[in-house]
């Protein structure tokens, strides 16, 4: 049920698992999320080649980092789910080498460079934010293993296991079920497959009783089975608890 837990701040929820934040830290985080913006699906928050003007924070919905090849083929390189932030130091670069865009309708906040610096000046907050960035990097590496060395159903299973862990810490899961506002084309561009093959692999996984996926909601019916299929080891997410 609790798809968007009212009154909670997903960034605060996530960072709390990384460090024991002070009251001032929490207040600062809440202030920072004041300047929010609502964006429809498939909108670029920042395009490739643009000069970065701050750091985006996703509060609601799914966004992604992606690149397009000249032929128009897309590769999604990361998901930004609620509580996820762009690169802390991005303003050190003069141009974005990739784009960030929404996959679903999103609520996002833009943090000015000075705001980010203010957050980083607080020791515990800085540690939590840096640790979060390390997890993002680890996730990117895991995606490379996924695309480079796993079969189609294994890739999909791994992605679904990862999202369960990531969405759970921000309170966006209901047992082993969560909203997944992505099309099969989005999943294809994430896993380096075609949408046709995603469709067929999903059907196999449904027939195997592993998952149920309809109306943008994923329910994992057999989590141990899915974990085994994916060889999923959640240690790269550095979650406080287990999976």
Binding site for DNA (CB under 7 A): 151-153, 183-185, 192-197, 199-203, 214-215
Spatial distance between the Cα atoms of 70 and 68, rounded to a whole number of angstroms: 7
Instruction: Give the interface segment with a copy of itself, choosing from 6-14, 66-74, 173-181, 209-217 (CB under 8 A).
Output: 66-74
Measured from the CB of residue 198, what is the shortest distance to DNA in angstroms? 8
- Residue 184 binds which one of DNA, a copy of itself, none, with CB within 5 to 8 A depending on kind? DNA
Of 137, 185, 196, 199, the residue at the interface with a copy of itself (CB under 8 A) is 137
Measured from the CB of residue 9, what is the shortest distance to DNA in angstroms? 27
Spatial distance between the Cα atoms of 209 and 199, rounded to a whole number of angstroms: 16
Could you write out the three-class secondary structure of the chain? Answer: CCCCCCCCCHHHHHHHCCCCCCHHHHHHHHHHCCCEEEECCCCEEECCCCCCCCEEEEEECCEEEEEECCCCCEEEEEEECCCCECCCCHHHCCCCCCEEEECCCEEEEEECHHHHHHHHCCHHHHHHHHHHHHHHHHHHHHHHHHHHHCCHHHHHHHHHHHHHHHHHHCCCCECCEEECCCCHHHHHHHHCCCHHHHHHHHHHHHHCCCEEEECCEEEECCHHHHHHHHCCCHHHHCCCCCC
Instruction: Give the interface segment with a copy of itself, choosing from 34-42, 135-143, 201-209, 215-223 (CB under 8 A).
Output: 135-143
Instruction: Give the interface segment with a copy of itself, choosing from 5-13, 100-108, 144-152, 160-168 (CB under 8 A).
Output: 144-152
Question: Should residue 236 be labelled a site residue for a copy of itself when binding is judged by CB under 8 A?
Answer: yes
- Residue 65 binds which one of DNA, a copy of itself, none, with CB within 5 to 8 A depending on kind? a copy of itself
Query: Which CB atom, from 93 or from 196, has the smaller least distance to DNA?
Result: 196
Instruction: Give the interface segment with a copy of itself, choosing from 5-13, 38-46, 55-63, 146-154 (CB under 8 A).
Output: 146-154
Which residues contribute to the site for a copy of itself (CB under 8 A)? 49, 65, 67, 69-70, 73-75, 77-78, 87, 89-90, 92-95, 97-98, 127, 130-131, 133-134, 137-138, 140-145, 147-150, 191-192, 231, 235-236, 238
């Amino acid at each position: 049920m609790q798809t968007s837990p009212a009154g909670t701040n997903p960034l605060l929820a996530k960072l709390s698992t990384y460090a024991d934040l002070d009251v001032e830290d929490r207040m600062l985080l809440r202030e920072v999320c004041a300047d929010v913006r609502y964006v429809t699906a498939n909108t670029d928050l920042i395009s490739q080649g643009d000069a970065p003007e701050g750091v985006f924070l996703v509060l609601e919905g799914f966004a992604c980092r992606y690149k397009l090849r000249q032929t128009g083929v897309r590769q999604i390189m990361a998901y930004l789910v609620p509580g996820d932030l762009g690169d802390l130091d991005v303003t050190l670069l003069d141009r974005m080498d990739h784009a960030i865009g929404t996959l679903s309708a999103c609520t996002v906040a833009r943090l000015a460079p000075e705001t980010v610096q203010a957050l980083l000046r607080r020791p515990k907050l800085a540690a939590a934010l840096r640790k979060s960035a390390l997890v993002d990097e680890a996730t990117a590496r895991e995606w490379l293993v996924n695309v480079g060395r796993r079969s189609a159903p294994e890739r999909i299973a791994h992605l679904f296991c990862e999202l369960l862990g990531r969405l759970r810490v921000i309170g966006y899961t209901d047992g082993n079920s969560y909203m997944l506002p992505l099309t099969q084309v989005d999943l294809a561009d994430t896993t380096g497959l075609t949408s046709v093959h995603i469709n067929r692999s999903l059907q196999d996984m449904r027939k195997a009783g592993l998952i149920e996926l309809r109306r943008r909601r994923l329910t994992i019916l057999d989590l141990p089975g899915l974990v085994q299929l994916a060889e999923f080891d959640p240690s790269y997410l550095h979650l406080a608890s287990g999976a």
